[in-house]
Amino acid sequence: MEAVAGIGLLETAFVWKERHYFVQTLDIMKKILVPIDFSEHSEYALQVASKIAKQHGAGIILLHMIGISDSVLANSEIAEEAEAKYFLKLAKEKIKEFTKREYLKEVPVEAIIQNYKDFEEVNNVAREQHCDLVVMGSHGTSGFSELFVGSNTEKVVRSSELPVIVIKGEHEDFKIAKMVLACDLGKESIPVYTKAKAFADLFSASLEVVYVNTAGANFMGYDDVEKRMESFKKALGQEVKVNFYNHHSVERGILNYCAEQGADLLVIPTHGRKGLAHFVVGSLAENVSNHAKMPVMTIKL
C-alpha cells in the first residue's frame, strides 16, 4: 500500500461487508471522519476534529473525493489512466500539505482518496472504516434554515447514519461544555436524545432540551406543554431538563436560546431524505437573518 508522508493512503473501492451502527452508549471514540476539499472551511473542520481526537485518543480519517468527470471516463483507457494519475498526484500533494499542520501532531491520521462525485458516499466510507463521528466544514451563510441546503454538507448530513458536527468558522479554543438539543419532544426524538447524551457524557458536557413554542397553529398552552414534557420524560425513562422557549420563529428561537444559555454545541435531528428544511418542530417560519456560527451536530431520526 502506498504511503503519503507517513500516512496510509487507501485508493481502492470499498465493499460494504457489514453494517456499523452507532450504539447508544459511547464509552470511547476511536475514529473521526473528516471530508476535505482543501478549502479553508474543511481546514476549520480538521482543526476541530484534531482537538476532539487529542481529547479522546482518537484517530482521524481524511476523505478527499476527486470526482473525475464522465467525459474523462469516456476517453480511451490510456487517456483515462493518465488523467486519473494526474488528479491523484495533485490530491496526494495537497494532503501532504494538510497533514503537516502543527495541530495534527500526535494524532494518528489516514487519508482516503476516492473518485466519488456523490457526497452520500461519505456514509459508506464512515461505516466501512467504523467511524464514530463525522466532522465537516460548511460554507453556509444564508440563514439557519438554508445552512446546508444545496451544498455538499447538506448531502452528507442527509445521508449520514452517524452524528455529524458541522463547523462554519475557525474555533481556536474549541471546547464542548454545554450542549443544547432542539427537538419537538416526540417519540422520534428519544433515540436522538440518547445519542446526544452519549456524546455529552463523552465530552463531560451538560445536555439540556429546548422546545420552541411558536405563535399560531403550533402554539401550545401551559397544560399541553406540561403533558408533552411529561410524555417525553416517561418515554425516555429518566428525568431530563426540558425548557420551553416562546418565539415567533422556530429557527430564531433556537439560536436565541443557545446564545442566551451560552451553548457550545447545538444538536438538531434530521429526517434524512427530507433534508434540514423539515427538522425539529412543526412547520418552519420565515428565513432567519441571523447565522448559526456555533458548531451544529446533526443526528438522523
Q: What is the pLDDT averaged over residues 138-159?
A: 61
Q: What phi and psi, each to the nearest 5 degrees, are found at residue 252?
A: -65, -40
Q: What is the pLDDT averaged over residues 127-155?
A: 71
CA–CA distance, 134 with 299 (Å, rounded to integer): 11
pLDDT at 141 over 90: no
Rounded to a whole number of angstroms, the CA Rg of the chain reads: 20
Lowest mean pLDDT among 37-41, 267-271, 290-294: 290-294
What is the predicted pLDDT for the residue at 80?
64
φ/ψ bin of 33: left (φ > 0), alpha (ψ from -120 to 50), beta (otherwise): beta
What is the predicted pLDDT for the residue at 214?
80
What is the predicted pLDDT for the residue at 178?
96
CA–CA distance, 116 with 128 (Å, rounded to integer): 15
Give residue 1's pLDDT band: very low, low, confident or very high (50, 70, 90).
Answer: very low
pLDDT at 145 over 60: no
> Would you tell me the crossing angle of helices 152-159 and 121-128 to the nearest 10 degrees?
50
User: 193 versus 143: which is more confidently predicted?
Assistant: 193
Lowest mean pLDDT among 1-15, 109-123, 143-157: 1-15
Q: What is the pLDDT averaged over residues 16-26?
A: 37
Domain with CATH 3.40.50.620 in the chain: 1-137, 176-301
CA–CA distance, 203 with 185 (Å, rounded to integer): 23
Lowest mean pLDDT among 42-56, 136-150, 249-263: 136-150
Domain 1-137 maps to which CATH number in 3.30.2320.50, 3.30.70.2190, 3.40.50.620, 3.40.50.300?
3.40.50.620
pLDDT at 184 over 80: yes
Give residue 261's pLDDT band: very low, low, confident or very high (50, 70, 90).
Answer: very high
pLDDT at 45 over 80: yes
- The secondary element (H helix, E strand) that includes residue 92 is helix 77-99
Give residue 272's pLDDT band: very low, low, confident or very high (50, 70, 90).
Answer: low
What is the predicted pLDDT for the residue at 14?
29
User: 284 versus 48: which is more confidently predicted?
Assistant: 48
What is the predicted pLDDT for the residue at 76?
54
Topology adopted by domain 176-301: Rossmann fold (3.40.50)
CA angle 140, 142, 144 (to 5 degrees): 80
Of 105, 38, 96, give the one whose Cα is nearest residue 66. 38
CA–CA distance, 62 with 46 (Å, rounded to integer): 9
Give residue 131's pLDDT band: very low, low, confident or very high (50, 70, 90).
Answer: very high
Give residue 301's pLDDT band: very low, low, confident or very high (50, 70, 90).
Answer: confident
Residue in this structure with the C-alpha cell 461544555, named with its chain if needed: 177
Give residue 113's pLDDT band: very low, low, confident or very high (50, 70, 90).
Answer: confident
pTM for the structure as a whole: 0.79
> How do residues 47-102 score in pLDDT, each as one tens digit?
999 999 999 999 999 998 876 555 554 555 666 667 777 777 888 888 888 888 89
Burial annotation 152-172 (CB, 10 A radius, 16+ → b, else e): bbbbbbbbbbbbbbbbbeebe
- Mean confidence (pLDDT) of the chain: 76
The torsion angle over the Cα atoms of residues 201, 203, 206 and 208, rounded to 10 degrees, is -80
- The secondary element (H helix, E strand) that includes residue 166 is strand 164-167
